[in-house]
Structure 1
Amino acid sequence: METRFLCTVLAASLLLPLQSLAAEQEGDNNTTVRDADAESVLDPRIERRHIKEADIDAENFEIGLYTGILSIEDFGSDPVLGVRLDYHLSEDVFLEGSLGRSKAGETSFETLNAGVQLLTDDEREYTYYQVGVGYNLLPGEAFLSENRAYNNALYLMGGAGMTDFAGDDQFTLSLGVGYRLLINDWMTVRVDMKDHIFNLDVLGEDKTTHNLELTAGIGVFF
């Protein structure tokens, strides 16, 4: 009987350390699983991007210079230089006054008939004065790089004025389309295409002429 009691005590003393070691291993495994689950959860913290937005200055006036090509009907295409002054009534509508100058070349009739001059040098000077209204049809943003966006707009224009050409002042209508890109809060880059329409009698008949102009320029708000 005593021998059996001693065997029972000896077996219990051997099992207790084994059970303790198993419990420790199980605890370590549970901790590892909890750590893995914690790492798998998405971090709700979002790092905010710092964006610097370039707004148009509070000033509503814009002055600009432009240059390009003017195709004078029957007289070829020649460089044109001009200045414009805009007043922005709102984000969508603006008024514009412009002054442009060019000089007409020779007609095909003059080229084919050497010595024939339909106009004098002074009469070939082409100067126009116009006022018009523009409407921003598609304002938006242009992404020229991965981290930088620029305000821009596609707009329509219409106006009227006078054209001094061929020794006479001609009433002129103007229709066009343009694109404006805001480089920063005070400078713009513009591309415009216009049709200057007026009646002209140089080749023996009074006809309506379409004089296409393509220009690019810069503007400054003040």
Structure 2
Amino acid sequence: METWFLRLVLILAWMTSGTVFAEGTDDRESVVREASPESVLDPRIERRRIREAEIDTENFEAGIYAGLISIEDFGTQPVIGLRFDYHLSEDVFFEAALGRAKGDETSFETLNAGVQLLTDEEREFTYYQASIGYNLLPGEAFLTRNRAFNNSLFLIGGAGMTDFAGDEYFTISAGVGYRLLINDFTAVRVDMKDHIFTHDILGEDKTTHNLEMTAGVSLYF
């Protein structure tokens, strides 16, 4: 009697466990079927497409510029010039510049009709100098959301000669500038400089500050 009862209990237990396993399997399959594609994490990462700057590796830069120069005692006049740069490194560059303007009449000449301190030829203002520049803040300028341009704020200083009033004067220059690379070989540039020299045109030695502001374009090669 006990043997039959034990067998009956074992058969009932086996049938119950099989039913529970089948129900658990059905539940897992229904969860997988009902899961939406949005609820599943996608391990793939979408990569951004980046276009690297194509900057020439040449170290030479040549350009032209134009602007205004305030020749002390002789008015503010247009100035044009040429520059040639050699980039020693990413931060340091050397520059040779040649600029030309023409001085106006002094206030003394204006107030005294017929008085002329300088001839037209002597009013020609020409400077040539060698300078060294340092890129203080190189970086990028984002002109649009998806386009950036390399740029830099730099300091520049040097020395040279100024030919004015029939004589040559040793000149020291110092200033600041901004350079923006348009593409791999073209740049635009804005400069502000002070050309300092001493002359005795008005009868006594006088140290003059001749402020200049220019804008120009240059090519790398």
Which TM-score bucket, shorter chain as reference? 0.7 to 0.9
Corresponding residue SS for 1:81 = strand
Instruction: Kindly provide the amino acid, as one letter, of the partner of residue 35 in structure 1.
Output: A
- Structure 1: how far apart are the matches of 2:186 and 2:202? 44
Aligned 1:1-222 pairs, distance under 5 A: 30-31=30-31, 34-36=34-36, 38-222=37-221
How far does residue 138 in structure 1 lie from its aligned partner after superposition? 0.3
Over aligned residues, Cα RMSD in angstroms?
A: 1.9
% identical equivalent positions? 70
How far does residue 192 in structure 1 lie from its aligned partner after superposition? 0.3
What is the TM-score when the length of structure 2 is the normalising length?
A: 0.84
- Structure 2: how far apart are the matches of 1:41 and 1:141? 39
Map Cα deviations across residues 33-84 of structure 1 (whole Å, 9 max, x no partner): 8414x52344332322222222421111000000000100011100000000
Q: Indicate how the Cα distance of structure 1 residues 30 and 181 shifts in structure 2: closer, same or farther if over 3 A, else same.
A: same
- Structure 2: how far apart are the matches of 1:124 and 1:113? 18
The alignment covers a number of residue pairs equal to 197
Bigger mean CA deviation after superposition, 171-180 or 48-57: 48-57
Unaligned stretches of 5+ in structure 2? 1-22
How far does residue 27 in structure 1 lie from its aligned partner after superposition? 6.0
Bigger mean CA deviation after superposition, 109-118 or 133-142: 109-118
Corresponding residue SS for 1:212 = strand
How far does residue 110 in structure 1 lie from its aligned partner after superposition? 1.1
